[in-house]
Amino acid sequence: MKKIAVILSGCGVFDGSEIHEAVLTLLSITQAGASYQCFAPNISQFHVINHLTGEVESDQQRNVLVESARIARGDIQDLAMLDATKFDALVLPGGFGAAKNLSDFAFKGADCQINVEVLNACQLFAQAKKPAAYICIAPALIPLVYGPGVTATIGTDPATAEQLTLLGANHQNCEVNEFVMDETAKVISTPAYMLAGSIAQAAQGIDKTIKQLLVMIP
């Protein structure tokens, strides 16, 4: 059975992993006959958002690993434990956690940096030529992992696409129900909720992406 590592970034679209994207990813992996193991860095979230009001709750602090465990139903491991040799592929769902906790792309754009532990984990898959999929805003990490010239997408938003281009990516516009693939780097990206107006729309691109990811595993 093909084994997929999934890196989460918290729990909630505005300060962690986008829950629909994360669950759709896990569902697609399972329905395709593969297995998954969730991981998350054991670090503090950048901030906590009240998802009812949209306001920052400055009196709260939450841990990315602890919050990600909500999505994984407790079956999750510290990212420090991820051994890329034991997995066939990697997936990073989106949500602002990818741009606030796994990196600071949300605040610094093309001047961003990735959390060192996240970068090391992603680069192990890249260096081993194992396929990886980045969803929604997570593709902002792709040029920092794979280097200049790598092909990726965040959908069709010109301003965000420009930041990816400044990071060194070859950005390609992509509709919500499709994905973009860099065959040389073996990395796939899909817009999901960068464009999706519903969970059904997000599911189309994610399911196609996961199916392609599994096809790319030798």
Query: Mind telling me the catalytic residues?
Result: 136
At residue 50's C-alpha, the angle toward residues 22 and 37, to 5°, is 20
How many alpha carbons fall within 13 Å on the CB side of residue 180? 24
- Chain position carrying tokens 């059904």: 200
Here the tokens at position 112 are 């961003």
